[in-house]
Structure 1
Amino acid sequence: MVLAARRSVGGVKMDRSSKLQPQREQRFVRQVDWNLFRQFHEIVRAGSVSAAARYLHTHQPGLSLALKRLEEQVGVPLCRRTPQGVELTPAGKMVFEQVTDVVEAIKMVPHVAMQAAKRIEGTLRLGMISDITSGELDEALSSFVRRHPDVTLQIDIGTWRGVLDAVAAGECDVGVTYESDSVPKIRYEPMVRESQQLYCGRSHPLFGSSIRNPATLADERFILAVADEPKDVERFRLHYDLGKNTVAYADDLTEAMRLIRLSAGIGFLPTIVAEPLGERLWPLLPVSLLPDYFIYLITSAAVPLSTPAQLFHEEMLRRLRAKPEFR
């Protein structure tokens, strides 16, 4: 039980507990070991104390003790140990959110300092899959180029796997790609949810048709954008045996779209790319059946970002997190 002494001064009630609260907070700030928060952050990100110990190149017992010390200083349990790793308590989730904000702010310190000193130069290397449509990406690029005229912008277009590998290897600073399976040491931020539709061209026999059962199209001549096919679309296609009569393999969506438009066969295309073509492409499947997936903004957790890359990444995160669906 906490007893709060009250007294009246000039008819106004004074609560001594309200004065004590800032004192407790100041004492906590003076006494807490800030390194414990960093270790807690890595434990949560890694999923277990042992995995975090390997990442931090330290010993597991010492990291377990650090977690215990932080819980003692905060005053409540933050994690529960499970066979699968650590599980955050409700308090732990709130603390992790606060610590993540602090970590992101600290990471930005040298970059913001350079920006204030007007010393931003170098190269921003972006890797992207083809035909990306994102207002947030366009606005961030426009703003970045305008504010940092001494930075060279290099954009490489590749397959989703090529973009992923380039970011993991440090050959690209920031990537825009889709990928269903999480890759270790790659940080993912969802940008936009995209769906794909099965299309045919204007002179194709199926033009104007509505197909309720995709399996009835298994024998149709198929155009496959093999290197640009998301795994979610591949699973959908294989489930209905689509593509067993593939007559053309395209390296990217642009070439696949050309062949579908010419009625060489049917094939999947992102709706956001194909819809502007209107009468030149016909959607064959009901909207309720369409496979969908996220397009992600990705960075490497193992390769530090350059100042231009860090500033652009932060610009993108601000815009993405302002979207209502990601709040």
Structure 2
Amino acid sequence: MSDPSHRYHPDRIARELDWNLLRTFVVLAESHSVTDAANRLGLRQPSVSAALKKLEDRIGRKLLDRSPGHFALTDAGRLLYREAVEINGSVLRLSTLMRELTDEVQGNVRITVASHVVSPLLDNALARFHAKHPKATLSIEVFSSADAIAEVTAKRASFAVCLVKDHNPKLEYRRLFREFFGLFCGPPHPLFGKPDLSLRDLAGHSSVSFETDRLQDVLKPVTVMRAQAELGQKITGISSHLEEVRRMIVAGLGIGPLPLHVAARDVRDGLLWQVPPYEGLPAIDVHVVWNQAAVKNRAEDLLLQEILNAIDTTPMEERTYR
């Protein structure tokens, strides 16, 4: 009589599992439907459905619940996706194992950053790196902080520069700089240009803000500041990109939060006006986040080390932008 546990035996799964099935499953798990996954993979829908069924047969578990209006991973599917994402990242980075045979550094560094990170320390580190290794290339992509970290976790990005809510024990973190947020309005706003404002003057005015401006999210201190200002419950605009929050503030849609050092030029140019509070403003830390388990090419190693050295040799006061 055969042992039913044989179908889940690690040796059998390792021997029979096709990597292409796992790759298809990762895309499926990150899609909204089989049709969506097929489009992203450049395949026909029946081919994707067949790949899913074959993978479920190999694993011995149902991985995806599908019905009209419902498309969700099962418990087994979530577990497999968590592991498959890391495997996917490792496979995509296999070429980095072939180190350059010349003395010149020629690799590419893919950095994911939160919207509108402004840091002279980071800029100077990039300048020094390029001067030393002019044949190395950079790819810098803007994501929400959560998505930027997800790219690092999946080994699809070299490292991230972003806000951090919770620390993943699989990742490494180093604080790059600290910024302070204030509240601002634009020229069309009735409070623009008015001196000697108090918090009472803000009460009831509509506001714009970031998607992460929530008590349970990374910009909680900013949420508390807005609440203390007794701004109205109506939020007329929201975005995950700082540039778009700034755009809505300048356009007069409402009062909104921005980092002081980022808004400074617009204040000088007459595009923004700071409103209360002026003291005790919330501090937000921006971190460099990387995956120690990811195999890195020489360019990635050297740029990350350049940034970490800059952090180590620059006092926190000089990395605090008020």
**Range into which the TM-score falls when normalised by the shorter chain:** 0.5 to 0.7
For 1:307 and 1:323, locate their aligned partners in 2 and report how far apart those are by CA, in whole Å. Answer: 24
Name which of structure 1's ranges 139-148 and 124-133 shifts more when overlaid on structure 2. 139-148
The corresponding residue for 1:281 is: 272
2:138 counterpart of 1:162: no
Cα deviation for residue 117 of structure 1 reads 4.8
Structure 1 segment 214-293 matched on structure 2, within 5 A: 217-226=202-211, 230-238=219-227, 242=231, 244-277=233-266, 278=268, 279-293=270-284
The corresponding residue for 2:187 is: 202
**Greater Rg over alpha carbons, structure:** 1
Aligned CA RMSD, in angstroms, stands at 2.7
Cα deviation for residue 124 of structure 1 reads 0.4
Letter in 2 for 1:318: N
Cα deviation for residue 283 of structure 1 reads 0.8
How many residues were matched structurally? 214
Answer yes or no: is the 8 Å Cα contact 1:179–1:230 preserved in 2.
Answer: no
2:136 counterpart of 1:147: no
The corresponding residue for 2:285 is: 294
Give the direction of change, closer, same or farther, for the CA distance of 1:242–1:130 in structure 2 (3 Å limit): same
Answer yes or no: is the 8 Å Cα contact 2:183–2:277 preserved in 1.
Answer: no
- Relative to total residues, which structure has the larger helix share, 1 or 2? 1
For 1:223 and 1:319, locate their aligned partners in 2 and report how far apart those are by CA, in whole Å. Answer: 35
For 1:186 and 1:242, locate their aligned partners in 2 and report how far apart those are by CA, in whole Å. Answer: 37
Letter in 2 for 1:188: Y
Q: Deviations over 1:107-146 (max 9, x none)?
A: xxxx9xx789514222101111122221121111122223
For 1:115 and 1:283, locate their aligned partners in 2 and report how far apart those are by CA, in whole Å. Answer: 51
Letter in 1 for 2:279: S
Q: Which of 1 and 2 has higher RCO (CA within 8 Å, sep 6+)?
A: 2
The corresponding residue for 1:47 is: none
Answer yes or no: is the 8 Å Cα contact 2:177–2:316 preserved in 1.
Answer: no
Structure 1 segment 87-236 matched on structure 2, within 5 A: 117-207=102-192, 208-213=194-199, 217-226=202-211, 230-236=219-225
Q: Deviations over 1:192-243 (max 9, x none)?
A: 11011110112311122555447x6352111122158734323443566646
Name which of structure 1's ranges 140-149 and 162-171 shifts more when overlaid on structure 2. 140-149
TM-score (norm: length of structure 1): 0.59
Give the direction of change, closer, same or farther, for the CA distance of 1:204–1:240 in structure 2 (3 Å limit): closer
Instruction: Provide the secondary structure at the position in 1 that maps to 2:166.
Output: coil
The runs of 4+ residues in structure 1 deviating greater than 4 Å are 114-117, 209-212, 238-243
Letter in 2 for 1:300: N
TM-score (norm: length of structure 2): 0.60
